[in-house]
Amino acid sequence: MDKIIVPIDFSKYSEYALETAAILAKKNNAELLVLHMLEIDRGRVTDSSNEHNEKMVFFLKLAEKKFDEFLVKDYLTGVNVTPIVKHFKVFKEVAEVAEEHNADMIVMGSQGTSGLAEIFVGSNTEKVVRYSEIPVLVVKQKPTNMSFDTVAFASDFSEEMIASYLKASKMFGNLKLVHVNVPGEAFKSSAEIEATVADFLNKADGNLNMLNDVYYTSDYTVEAGILNAANILGADLIAVPTHGRKGLAHFFAGSVSEDVANHATLPVITFKI
Protein backbone atom coordinates (compact mmCIF):
# COMPACT_ATOMS: atom_id res chain seq x y z
CA MET A 1 0.00 0.00 0.00
CA ASP A 2 1.66 3.23 -1.19
CA LYS A 3 -0.98 5.99 -1.07
CA ILE A 4 -4.02 6.53 1.17
CA ILE A 5 -6.62 9.26 0.61
CA VAL A 6 -8.38 10.84 3.60
CA PRO A 7 -11.24 13.29 2.87
CA ILE A 8 -11.72 15.63 5.85
CA ASP A 9 -14.39 18.18 6.84
CA PHE A 10 -12.87 19.15 10.24
CA SER A 11 -15.41 17.02 12.14
CA LYS A 12 -14.34 14.60 14.89
CA TYR A 13 -15.24 11.74 12.54
CA SER A 14 -12.80 12.93 9.88
CA GLU A 15 -10.18 13.22 12.61
CA TYR A 16 -10.86 9.57 13.49
CA ALA A 17 -10.26 8.77 9.83
CA LEU A 18 -7.07 10.82 9.71
CA GLU A 19 -5.64 9.09 12.77
CA THR A 20 -6.65 5.68 11.40
CA ALA A 21 -4.99 6.47 8.07
CA ALA A 22 -1.85 7.67 9.86
CA ILE A 23 -1.56 4.33 11.67
CA LEU A 24 -1.96 2.46 8.39
CA ALA A 25 0.52 4.77 6.65
CA LYS A 26 3.16 4.10 9.31
CA LYS A 27 2.61 0.35 9.07
CA ASN A 28 2.92 0.39 5.28
CA ASN A 29 5.31 3.33 4.79
CA ALA A 30 2.57 4.97 2.72
CA GLU A 31 1.86 8.58 1.77
CA LEU A 32 -1.29 10.31 3.04
CA LEU A 33 -3.22 12.42 0.56
CA VAL A 34 -5.44 14.55 2.80
CA LEU A 35 -8.33 15.99 0.79
CA HIS A 36 -10.60 18.88 1.74
CA MET A 37 -13.50 19.94 -0.50
CA LEU A 38 -14.65 23.52 -0.02
CA GLU A 39 -18.40 24.14 -0.16
CA ILE A 40 -18.39 26.92 -2.78
CA ASP A 41 -21.22 27.51 -5.24
CA ARG A 42 -19.95 27.42 -8.83
CA GLY A 43 -22.04 30.48 -9.70
CA ARG A 44 -20.19 32.51 -7.09
CA VAL A 45 -16.85 31.41 -8.53
CA THR A 46 -17.77 32.64 -12.03
CA ASP A 47 -18.79 36.08 -10.72
CA SER A 48 -15.96 38.29 -12.03
CA SER A 49 -16.61 41.50 -10.05
CA ASN A 50 -13.55 42.81 -8.21
CA GLU A 51 -15.31 42.98 -4.85
CA HIS A 52 -16.54 39.43 -5.19
CA ASN A 53 -13.10 38.18 -6.25
CA GLU A 54 -11.52 39.76 -3.18
CA LYS A 55 -14.06 38.06 -0.93
CA MET A 56 -13.48 34.69 -2.65
CA VAL A 57 -9.71 34.94 -2.22
CA PHE A 58 -10.18 35.83 1.45
CA PHE A 59 -12.47 32.86 2.17
CA LEU A 60 -10.25 30.47 0.20
CA LYS A 61 -7.17 31.54 2.14
CA LEU A 62 -9.12 31.28 5.42
CA ALA A 63 -10.24 27.73 4.58
CA GLU A 64 -6.74 26.70 3.53
CA LYS A 65 -5.30 28.12 6.78
CA LYS A 66 -7.85 26.12 8.80
CA PHE A 67 -6.92 23.06 6.75
CA ASP A 68 -3.20 23.51 7.48
CA GLU A 69 -3.89 23.96 11.20
CA PHE A 70 -6.04 20.80 11.26
CA LEU A 71 -3.06 18.80 10.03
CA VAL A 72 -0.88 19.73 13.00
CA LYS A 73 -1.24 16.43 14.88
CA ASP A 74 1.29 14.45 16.90
CA TYR A 75 0.19 11.21 15.26
CA LEU A 76 1.17 12.60 11.83
CA THR A 77 4.80 12.98 12.89
CA GLY A 78 6.97 10.97 10.52
CA VAL A 79 4.15 10.53 7.97
CA ASN A 80 4.48 11.91 4.43
CA VAL A 81 1.36 14.12 4.16
CA THR A 82 0.21 15.82 0.94
CA PRO A 83 -2.70 18.27 1.41
CA ILE A 84 -5.14 18.64 -1.52
CA VAL A 85 -7.87 21.31 -1.69
CA LYS A 86 -10.80 21.13 -4.11
CA HIS A 87 -13.07 24.15 -4.49
CA PHE A 88 -16.33 22.23 -4.93
CA LYS A 89 -17.99 19.54 -2.86
CA VAL A 90 -18.47 16.90 -5.57
CA PHE A 91 -18.04 13.42 -4.18
CA LYS A 92 -17.06 11.75 -7.42
CA GLU A 93 -13.98 14.01 -7.25
CA VAL A 94 -12.68 11.82 -4.43
CA ALA A 95 -12.64 8.91 -6.88
CA GLU A 96 -11.04 11.16 -9.50
CA VAL A 97 -8.27 12.19 -7.09
CA ALA A 98 -7.74 8.51 -6.24
CA GLU A 99 -7.37 7.66 -9.93
CA GLU A 100 -5.13 10.65 -10.64
CA HIS A 101 -2.72 9.78 -7.82
CA ASN A 102 -3.01 5.99 -8.23
CA ALA A 103 -4.14 5.65 -4.60
CA ASP A 104 -4.67 2.27 -2.96
CA MET A 105 -7.34 3.09 -0.37
CA ILE A 106 -9.71 5.78 0.86
CA VAL A 107 -10.24 6.16 4.63
CA MET A 108 -13.37 8.04 5.73
CA GLY A 109 -15.03 8.88 9.00
CA SER A 110 -18.79 8.57 9.33
CA GLN A 111 -21.43 9.11 11.97
CA GLY A 112 -24.00 7.16 9.94
CA THR A 113 -27.59 8.15 9.18
CA SER A 114 -31.03 6.66 9.60
CA GLY A 115 -34.64 7.10 8.61
CA LEU A 116 -35.78 9.59 5.97
CA ALA A 117 -32.51 11.49 6.04
CA GLU A 118 -30.77 8.32 4.88
CA ILE A 119 -33.28 7.63 2.09
CA PHE A 120 -33.38 11.09 0.57
CA VAL A 121 -29.94 12.50 1.39
CA GLY A 122 -27.58 9.72 2.34
CA SER A 123 -24.26 10.24 4.08
CA ASN A 124 -21.15 11.68 2.46
CA THR A 125 -19.44 8.36 3.06
CA GLU A 126 -22.13 6.46 1.14
CA LYS A 127 -21.54 8.70 -1.86
CA VAL A 128 -17.81 8.05 -1.83
CA VAL A 129 -18.38 4.30 -1.50
CA ARG A 130 -20.73 4.51 -4.49
CA TYR A 131 -18.18 6.17 -6.78
CA SER A 132 -14.90 4.64 -5.62
CA GLU A 133 -13.09 2.00 -7.65
CA ILE A 134 -10.64 1.33 -4.81
CA PRO A 135 -11.32 0.00 -1.29
CA VAL A 136 -12.99 2.44 1.11
CA LEU A 137 -12.37 1.99 4.84
CA VAL A 138 -15.13 3.56 6.95
CA VAL A 139 -14.48 4.30 10.65
CA LYS A 140 -16.81 5.76 13.27
CA GLN A 141 -14.67 5.81 16.38
CA LYS A 142 -11.22 6.86 17.51
CA PRO A 143 -8.87 4.02 16.46
CA THR A 144 -7.73 1.69 19.23
CA ASN A 145 -6.95 -1.65 17.58
CA MET A 146 -5.81 -1.52 13.96
CA SER A 147 -4.42 -5.04 13.80
CA PHE A 148 -7.69 -6.40 12.33
CA ASP A 149 -7.05 -9.88 13.73
CA THR A 150 -10.44 -11.16 12.54
CA VAL A 151 -11.99 -9.85 9.34
CA ALA A 152 -15.54 -10.91 8.42
CA PHE A 153 -15.87 -10.99 4.61
CA ALA A 154 -19.55 -11.13 3.62
CA SER A 155 -20.48 -12.57 0.24
CA ASP A 156 -23.19 -14.39 -1.67
CA PHE A 157 -20.34 -16.46 -3.20
CA SER A 158 -21.36 -15.72 -6.76
CA GLU A 159 -18.61 -15.70 -9.37
CA GLU A 160 -18.62 -11.89 -9.63
CA MET A 161 -17.46 -11.71 -6.00
CA ILE A 162 -14.18 -13.54 -6.69
CA ALA A 163 -12.10 -10.46 -7.53
CA SER A 164 -13.22 -8.67 -4.34
CA TYR A 165 -12.51 -11.77 -2.29
CA LEU A 166 -8.99 -12.08 -3.70
CA LYS A 167 -8.27 -8.40 -2.99
CA ALA A 168 -9.47 -8.82 0.60
CA SER A 169 -7.43 -12.02 0.98
CA LYS A 170 -4.30 -10.23 -0.19
CA MET A 171 -4.90 -7.31 2.17
CA PHE A 172 -5.91 -9.42 5.21
CA GLY A 173 -4.61 -12.92 5.78
CA ASN A 174 -7.21 -13.81 8.39
CA LEU A 175 -10.62 -13.78 6.73
CA LYS A 176 -13.75 -15.36 8.10
CA LEU A 177 -16.26 -15.79 5.27
CA VAL A 178 -19.92 -15.04 5.97
CA HIS A 179 -22.93 -16.28 4.01
CA VAL A 180 -26.37 -14.93 4.97
CA ASN A 181 -29.45 -16.93 4.01
CA VAL A 182 -32.64 -14.85 3.82
CA PRO A 183 -36.33 -15.70 3.25
CA GLY A 184 -37.91 -15.29 -0.18
CA GLU A 185 -36.62 -15.96 -3.68
CA ALA A 186 -32.97 -15.81 -2.55
CA PHE A 187 -33.46 -18.62 0.00
CA LYS A 188 -31.27 -21.70 -0.50
CA SER A 189 -31.12 -25.06 1.20
CA SER A 190 -28.03 -25.97 3.22
CA ALA A 191 -26.87 -28.33 0.49
CA GLU A 192 -27.23 -25.62 -2.17
CA ILE A 193 -25.29 -23.11 -0.09
CA GLU A 194 -22.46 -25.53 0.66
CA ALA A 195 -22.18 -26.45 -3.03
CA THR A 196 -22.10 -22.76 -4.01
CA VAL A 197 -19.37 -21.99 -1.48
CA ALA A 198 -17.26 -24.99 -2.52
CA ASP A 199 -17.53 -24.01 -6.18
CA PHE A 200 -16.58 -20.41 -5.31
CA LEU A 201 -13.48 -21.42 -3.34
CA ASN A 202 -12.35 -23.85 -6.02
CA LYS A 203 -12.55 -21.11 -8.64
CA ALA A 204 -11.02 -18.40 -6.44
CA ASP A 205 -8.28 -20.33 -4.57
CA GLY A 206 -8.01 -23.56 -6.50
CA ASN A 207 -8.66 -25.46 -3.26
CA LEU A 208 -11.07 -25.79 -0.32
CA ASN A 209 -8.67 -24.75 2.44
CA MET A 210 -10.99 -21.93 3.54
CA LEU A 211 -14.03 -24.16 3.87
CA ASN A 212 -13.73 -24.36 7.66
CA ASP A 213 -13.59 -20.56 7.85
CA VAL A 214 -17.09 -20.09 6.42
CA TYR A 215 -19.82 -18.98 8.82
CA TYR A 216 -23.40 -19.68 7.71
CA THR A 217 -26.27 -17.72 9.22
CA SER A 218 -29.95 -17.04 8.54
CA ASP A 219 -31.63 -13.68 9.08
CA TYR A 220 -34.48 -11.50 7.82
CA THR A 221 -32.11 -9.18 5.89
CA VAL A 222 -28.58 -9.57 4.55
CA GLU A 223 -27.45 -6.48 6.44
CA ALA A 224 -28.73 -7.78 9.79
CA GLY A 225 -27.13 -11.16 9.13
CA ILE A 226 -23.74 -9.59 8.39
CA LEU A 227 -23.79 -7.39 11.50
CA ASN A 228 -24.88 -10.25 13.76
CA ALA A 229 -22.31 -12.63 12.27
CA ALA A 230 -19.51 -10.10 12.76
CA ASN A 231 -20.51 -9.79 16.41
CA ILE A 232 -20.58 -13.56 16.96
CA LEU A 233 -17.23 -14.03 15.20
CA GLY A 234 -15.64 -11.28 17.28
CA ALA A 235 -14.61 -9.46 14.11
CA ASP A 236 -12.46 -6.32 14.21
CA LEU A 237 -13.43 -5.36 10.65
CA ILE A 238 -16.26 -6.09 8.20
CA ALA A 239 -15.37 -6.43 4.51
CA VAL A 240 -18.11 -6.24 1.87
CA PRO A 241 -18.12 -6.13 -1.94
CA THR A 242 -20.18 -3.36 -3.57
CA HIS A 243 -21.69 -2.77 -7.01
CA GLY A 244 -21.65 0.99 -6.45
CA ARG A 245 -25.17 1.51 -7.82
CA LYS A 246 -26.04 5.07 -8.79
CA GLY A 247 -29.19 7.00 -9.64
CA LEU A 248 -32.58 5.30 -9.70
CA ALA A 249 -31.05 1.84 -9.57
CA HIS A 250 -29.56 2.73 -6.21
CA PHE A 251 -32.74 4.41 -4.96
CA PHE A 252 -34.97 1.43 -5.71
CA ALA A 253 -32.55 -1.43 -5.10
CA GLY A 254 -30.37 0.08 -2.38
CA SER A 255 -26.94 -1.24 -1.53
CA VAL A 256 -26.16 -3.74 1.19
CA SER A 257 -22.56 -2.52 1.41
CA GLU A 258 -23.63 1.10 1.98
CA ASP A 259 -26.20 0.04 4.58
CA VAL A 260 -23.60 -2.01 6.45
CA ALA A 261 -21.06 0.84 6.27
CA ASN A 262 -23.75 3.21 7.54
CA HIS A 263 -25.04 1.15 10.45
CA ALA A 264 -22.08 -0.91 11.68
CA THR A 265 -20.17 0.26 14.75
CA LEU A 266 -17.14 -1.70 13.58
CA PRO A 267 -14.87 -0.38 10.83
CA VAL A 268 -16.11 -1.47 7.39
CA ILE A 269 -14.09 -1.80 4.20
CA THR A 270 -15.79 -1.98 0.80
CA PHE A 271 -14.40 -3.52 -2.39
CA LYS A 272 -15.82 -2.54 -5.79
CA ILE A 273 -17.13 -5.48 -7.80
Q: Which fold has domain 151-272?
A: Rossmann fold (3.40.50)
User: Among 164, 189, 187, which residue's Cα sits nearest to residue 240?
Assistant: 164
Query: At 195, phi and psi to the nearest 5?
Result: -65, -40
Q: Is 182 exposed, middle or buried (0-12, 13-18, 19+ CB in 10 A)?
A: middle
Question: Where along the chain do the CATH 3.40.50.620 domains lie?
Answer: 3-139, 151-272
Range 236-249 average pLDDT: 76
Q: For the sheet containing 105-109, what is the strand order?
A: 81-86, 31-37, 3-7, 105-109, 136-139, 268-272, 237-242, 151-154, 175-181, 214-218
b/e for 183-217, b at 16 or more Cβ within 10 A? eeeeeeeeeebeebbeebbeebeeeeebeeebbeb
Which of the following CATH numbers is that of domain 3-139: 3.30.420.40, 3.40.50.300, 3.40.50.620, 3.90.1300.10? 3.40.50.620
Position 248 scores a pLDDT of 46
Amino acid (1-letter code) at residue 88? F
- The model's pTM: 0.86
Give tens-digit pLDDT for 133-171. 999 999 999 998 788 999 999 999 999 999 999 999 999
Q: How confident is the model at residue 89 (pLDDT cuts 50, 70, 90)?
A: low
Q: What is the pLDDT of residues 2-27, one digit of tens each?
A: 999 999 888 899 999 999 999 999 99
Task: Give the three-class secondary structure for 181.
Answer: strand
- H/E run at residue 70: helix 50-70
- Residue 236: name the closest of 271, 263, 262, 267 by CA: 267
Q: Determine the Cα–Cα distance for residues 148 and 236; give it in Å rounded to an integer.
A: 5
Higher-scoring residue by pLDDT: 39, 70 = 70
93 pLDDT tier (thresholds 50, 70, 90): confident
- Beta carbons of 1 and 24 less than 8 angstroms apart: yes
pLDDT digits 0-9 by tens, 108-137 = 988 765 544 433 334 677 778 888 899 999
Give 41 or 206, the one with higher predicted confidence: 206
